[in-house]
Amino acid sequence: MKGHRVIAAFFLAAALINISACITIVPPKISITGEKTVIERQITGEYMELEPDAWVISSVKTLSGGSSTGMLIAGYDEELVNAISIRNFNHDKIVRYKSEGAIGEASTGFLVYRSLPLYENQKAEKDILMAVMKNENDARLTIFKRSIFLKEKRQPTQNEINGFGQTFAAEQRKFALQGDWIQDAAGRWTQK
């Protein structure tokens, strides 16, 4: 009886080996491209509208809003979305300029130029830096104004814009990378 089990096990093993030799696993074809997915393009704002008059409706968590769910329906604000897209587009350049010490985060919520020989001696490079910085600061101002407008349902005062900018600057100081120049609320510049 024991011999039959050994022979049966041998034939079973041989059958499994033959079956496994017949099985072919073919992985799916994978193409790697530099293209972003639809979701990535939507997140960075690089997608086209389906219709010019289309509205995007989304749920936004909020601490207020009067509803028991804590959710708020937000409409598409083209100015705000464009400003955020500009900031996303400028992000890598801003990080590079900050790491070089060419720009710093002021206590007002805006970027300021910090004179460096590299840019003072190369007008074309300085012009590019200044254009990126102006573009970023304009986008930030738009975000400050539109955020207040959407919350208050009226045009913001200069004091409200300044307060929003100071709050934004405090957040930027927290997120600053090692070596970035930041200005504290008292106006003192330090390197993080």
Residues 90-116: tens digit of each pLDDT: 999 999 999 999 999 999 999 999 999
Do 152 and 168 sit in the same domain of this protein? yes
Do 132 and 59 sit in the same domain of this protein? no
Do 65 and 86 sit in the same domain of this protein? no
Do 128 and 60 sit in the same domain of this protein? no
- Looking at 47, 76, 105, the residue that finishes a domain is 76
Asked if residue 166 lies in contact with residue 109, where contact means CB atoms within 8 angstroms, the answer is yes
Which helix (H) or strand (E) is 181 found in, with range?
strand 181-183
pLDDT digit string, tens, across residues 34-70? 666 656 665 665 555 444 554 544 444 444 443 333 3
- Looking at 20, 49, 76, the residue that finishes a domain is 76
State the Cα–Cα distance between residues 72 and 88, nearest whole angstrom. Answer: 25
For the segment 162-186, the average pLDDT, to the nearest whole number, is: 93
Do 55 and 90 sit in the same domain of this protein? no
| 46's tokens | 């690089």
Higher pLDDT, 73 or 34: 34
Range of the domain at 48: 35-76
Higher pLDDT, 154 or 65: 154
Asked if residue 135 lies in contact with residue 121, where contact means CB atoms within 8 angstroms, the answer is no
- Looking at 59, 76, 93, the residue that finishes a domain is 76
Do 114 and 89 sit in the same domain of this protein? yes
Do 106 and 64 sit in the same domain of this protein? no
Q: Which residues contact 187 (CB under 8 A, 6 or more apart)?
A: 107
How does the average pLDDT of the chain come out, rounded? Answer: 77
Do 69 and 138 sit in the same domain of this protein? no
What's the pLDDT band for 12 if we cut at 50, 70, 90? low
For the segment 117-130, the average pLDDT, to the nearest whole number, is: 93
Asked if pLDDT for residue 4 goes beyond 60, the answer is no
